[in-house]
């Protein structure tokens, strides 16, 4: 008889809204499997406020390194601004912890490969938060597509049309390449096109455009792409922060059915709709109905999947080559948009300017010195 897995000792780095509003409830939902033991924030007032909510038993630190030295947690959840992710992730891996980090995991493919090297050296794993993959509706849809139940995927649309005003970009680290890594392509639409890639598999070619139409930022506030998948399907991807009517949407037209997901910041089973082609037998279509269990997409669902992997000593989902493919897609979209030519999967490597930074040092897009 096997012994139950031990409760994992968890630390959070960053105590802002995403950690308080999403990670803390996820930890509470898995309280039988995890124990929050430490929190890190350079803002001592914010740290104290978080500990008031999380509990006095949670040790407080203003330095990630000091926390890692003192606590040696099993798992570190990172919810800081993007420019800090790589260094904090590598430090946690070196300290022997696994990592679950908010998107983007890092700002470039070069940084991602630094993290991969730290994984290999430590034996730990770093996952990125792509919680939209983990709801029961997404799991069911991927299973149907993978098993060929809906027929061959042919046409897809992926839409993240959100709205952000000038106040949003007044936060100093937003809209700048060095601190955010990009605009809605990196910080907003990445959840939706990660789910698209998760559903349809490997992409082979990207053509794209990007623009800075409204906001006074370094990066784009709008991007669009045309994508060819390895299996032949064609897709459009739109990432916008200029859209008053906000919606997140994926549609996949397969040979035997259209799959549609419409939501905003999270989905459950009812948000997924299947429309059979005229030739499909109703009995077959009835089998596409959502599963009985309704698990919303959430940090809670992803944390559960990560803990399952931890218990089995396996690479968790949303890490390694799997998560790198999504970041590579972002880099390819930027390169295609800024150079005006198609970009193929696998072409961005060391020596390519888009390997080191999403702006690729393009003269019209690279950061300018501020005077």
Residue 106 in this model has a pLDDT that exceeds 80: yes
Tens-place pLDDT, residues 60-81:
999 999 999 999 999 999 999 9
The CATH 3.40.50.720 portion of the chain extends over 8-131+301-314
Q: For the chain, where do the domains classified as CATH 3.30.360.10 start and end?
A: 135-298+325-356
CATH number of 8-131+301-314: 3.40.50.720
Mention every residue, 6+ apart, whose C-beta is less than 8 A from residue 98: 74, 75, 76, 92, 124, 125, 126, 127, 306, 310, 316
Tens digits of per-residue pLDDT, 265-321? 999 999 999 999 999 999 999 989 888 899 999 999 999 999 999 999 999 999 999
SS3 content of the chain, % helix, strand, coil (to 5): 40, 25, 35
Q: Model pTM? A: 0.96
Take residue 1 and report the two structure tokens written for it.
């008889």
Residue 105 CA to residue 169 CA, distance in Å, equals 21
Check whether domain 135-298+325-356 has CATH 3.40.50.720, yes or no: no
């Amino acid at each position: 008889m096997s012994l139950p897995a031990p409760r994992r000792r968890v630390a959070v780095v960053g105590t802002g809204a995403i950690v308080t509003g999403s990670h803390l409830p996820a930890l509470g939902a898995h309280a039988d499997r995890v124990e929050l033991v430490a929190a890190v924030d350079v803002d001592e007032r914010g740290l104290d406020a978080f500990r008031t909510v999380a509990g006095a038993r949670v040790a407080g630190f203003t330095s990630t390194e000091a926390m890692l030295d003192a606590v040696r947690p099993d798992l570190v959840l990172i919810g800081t601004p993007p420019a800090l992710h790589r260094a904090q992730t590598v430090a946690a891996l070196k300290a022997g912890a696994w990592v679950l980090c908010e998107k983007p995991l890092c700002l470039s493919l070069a940084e991602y490969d630094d993290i991969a090297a730290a994984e290999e050296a430590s034996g730990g794993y770093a996952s990125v938060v792509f919680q939209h993959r983990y709801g029961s509706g997404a799991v069911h849809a991927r299973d149907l597509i993978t098993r060929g139940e809906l027929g061959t995927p042919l046409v897809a649309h992926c839409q993240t049309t959100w709205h952000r005003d000038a106040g949003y970009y007044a936060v100093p680290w937003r809209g700048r390449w060095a601190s955010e890594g990009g605009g809605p392509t990196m910080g907003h639409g990445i959840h939706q096109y990660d789910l698209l890639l998760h559903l349809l598999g490997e992409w082979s070619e990207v053509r794209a455009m990007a623009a800075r139409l409204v906001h006074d930022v370094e990066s784009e506030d709008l991007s669009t792409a045309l994508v060819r998948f390895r299996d032949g399907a064609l897709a459009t991807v739109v990432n916008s922060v200029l859209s008053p009517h906000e919606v997140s949407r994926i549609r996949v037209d397969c040979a035997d059915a259209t799959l549609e997901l419409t939501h905003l910041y999270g989905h459950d089973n009812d948000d997924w709709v299947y429309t059979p082609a005229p030739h499909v037998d109703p009995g077959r279509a009835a089998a596409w109905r959502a599963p009985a269990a309704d698990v919303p997409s959430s940090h809670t669902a992803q944390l559960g999947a990560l803990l399952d992997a931890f218990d089995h000593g396996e690479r968790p989902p949303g890490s390694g080559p799997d998560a790198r493919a999504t970041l590579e897609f972002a880099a390819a979209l930027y390169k295609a948009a800024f150079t005006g030519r198609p970009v193929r999967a696998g072409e961005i490597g060391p020596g390519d300017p888009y390997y080191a930074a999403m702006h690729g040092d393009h003269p019209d897009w690279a950061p300018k010195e501020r005077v």
